[in-house]
Amino acid sequence: MSDIPRKAVTRAAKLAALPVGYAGRAAWGLGRRVGGAPAEAVAAELQARTAQQLFATLGELKGGAMKFGQAMSIFESALPEEIAGPYRATLTKLQDSAPPLPPDRVHAVLTQELGPRWRRRFASFDDTPVAAASIGQVHRAVWRDGRVVAVKVQYPGAGKALMGDLQQISRVARVATSWIPGIEVKPILDELRERMKEELDYRIEANHQETFAAAYDGDPQVHIPHVVHGTEHVIVSEWLDGDPLSRVIASGSKAERDLAAGRYMDFLLSGPGRAGVLHADPHPGNFRMTPQGRLGVMDFGACNRLPDGLPPEMGDLVTLAVTGEAAKVLDRLREIGFVRSTIDIDPDRLLEYLEPFLDPLSGPEFTFSRAWLREVFAHINDPRRPNYTVGMKLNLPPDYLLIHRVWLGGIGVLCQIGGTVRGRDAVNAHFPGAALP
């Protein structure tokens, strides 16, 4: 494979084939049913085939297509287990890797960004990438001063591919929503559009990474590599050794899961207060567990600047909800803008609707799991429940949009990890105004 396929018509055709392929497989499934095959067996095979085509296409196209796949992959925890099985292995592939760029294309980018004598900047450079993701890939090298470094190289044509994908990717929405109950794909796509332009300029990412590295320098729980050199399409940063979070998810011991979950949750919560920035790309491929037991963080392309930290009312709101102050919760939500003044909501119904989301804070410890997340999605999507319409009456203020997206994704990853965390302690430490008992 050369670089990202640039011809819009070619990429559009590949994406357009996804719903067509889904329709074809559905017809195949119907034929199998008519032929007497068991419904469960047909459904399982249909789901597996759909997953294979969907994520193979998104991974092959890289760019916005693969970015969308990664964004959706962290929600596999919400799938019923009989459906999740066929998808899980395919989803995990998107979290860590993609087809790599050949050496000659990598060298061309390095020549353009670092100059024709770019090799003089390195004592050595490994042409085989150690990771390949949505818009770039990473190579191991040794900087001229002897430091082992990671060299992140952006794919040629990534900009055109990204913006073209995000126009075409709505074709995939029907397929995606068929296996993620309760997830609205359109807001995810809107958020990706907002962030993609920034992610294309690695200088912005380098600034974010160095801001985080300075804020967590010497931290016993989190390790963030410092930036060595950066240009628009290349970032050179200190090398990060560690165990991929995806490995912990796949086969970690209970102790490994508990440690990873606690570190991961604490980092997502603490970033705005310590660095003035929210890390906005929570999928597992961006994280490692170091030999020292710290959470290593590697990708800072998607970030949201919060110079004043998290919104000051968050801690008070969470405390009121956990302690059962239904009327006060509704009042605060109206003040913040989550409930418009013209909307009528019963406070008790509102608190009942929010109750599953508060489970991680109901006691000193909580174990995230796929089963729990499935129960949450079932709760909010069951039209038989009296509080079913509450969710339709809630509004998401602009200041909370990305925070909501990050935490929805973060909870999905925590449920994949399956670790036990001290959620109340973390919220009290990092939410301004929180006072959970």
- Each residue's pLDDT tens digit, 328-360: 999 999 999 889 888 899 999 999 989 888 999
Rounded to whole angstroms, how far apart are CA atoms 279 and 363? 27
pLDDT at residue 72 greater than cutoff 70 = no
Give me the mean pLDDT over the 106-126 stretch.
97
Binned at pLDDT 50, 70 and 90, residue 79 comes out as low
Residue 178 vs residues 50, 83, 88, 272: alpha-carbon distances, Å:
10, 11, 16, 34
Q: What is the pTM of this model?
A: 0.76
Q: For residue 315, is pLDDT > 50?
A: yes
- pLDDT value for 33: 33
Q: 274 falls in which pLDDT band (50, 70, 90)? A: very high
Strands 277-279 and 136-143 come out as unpaired
Report the 10 Å Cβ neighbour count for 206: 23
Q: Which residues contact 56 (CB under 8 A, 6 or more apart)?
A: 90
Determine the Cα–Cα distance for residues 53 and 128; give it in Å rounded to an integer. Answer: 27
**Cα–Cα distance, 171 to 19 (Å, whole number):** 7
What's the mean pLDDT in 47-73?
50
| pLDDT beyond 50 at 42 | no
Question: Contact 239/225 with Cβ under 8 angstroms?
Answer: yes
Dihedral, CA of residue 392, residue 398, residue 402 and residue 408, to nearest 10: -20
pLDDT at 96: 46
Asked if 357 and 317 touch (Cβ cutoff 8 Å), the reply is no
Cα distance from N-terminal residue to C-terminal residue, the chain: 56
Q: Burial-class residue 426 by CB neighbours within 10 Å (0-12, 13-18, 19+).
A: buried
DSSP secondary structure code for residue 432 in this structure: T
**Best mean pLDDT range from 82-91, 259-268, 310-319:** 259-268
Token pair for 47: 């789901």
Q: Which of 230, 266, 283 is nearest to 406 (CA)?
A: 283
Average pLDDT over residues 56-74: 49
- Asked whether the predicted pLDDT for residue 398 surpasses 90, the reply is no
Residue 94 makes CB contacts below 8 A (sequence gap 6+) with 55, 58, 59, 66, 69, 70, 73
Domains of the chain by start residue, with CATH: 8-97+159-196 (no CATH), 103-158+200-238 (3.30.200.20), 314-430 (no CATH)
Tell me the pLDDT tens digit for each residue of 207-237. Answer: 999 999 999 999 999 999 999 999 999 999 9
Q: In this predicted structure, what is the pLDDT of residue 404? A: 82
Mapping DSSP onto H, E and C, the string for 211-255 reads: HHHHHCCCCCCEECCCEEEECCCEEEEECCCCEEHHHHHHHCCHH
Please provide the DSSP assignment of 376-402 as one string: HHHHHH-TTSTTTTHHHH----GGGHH
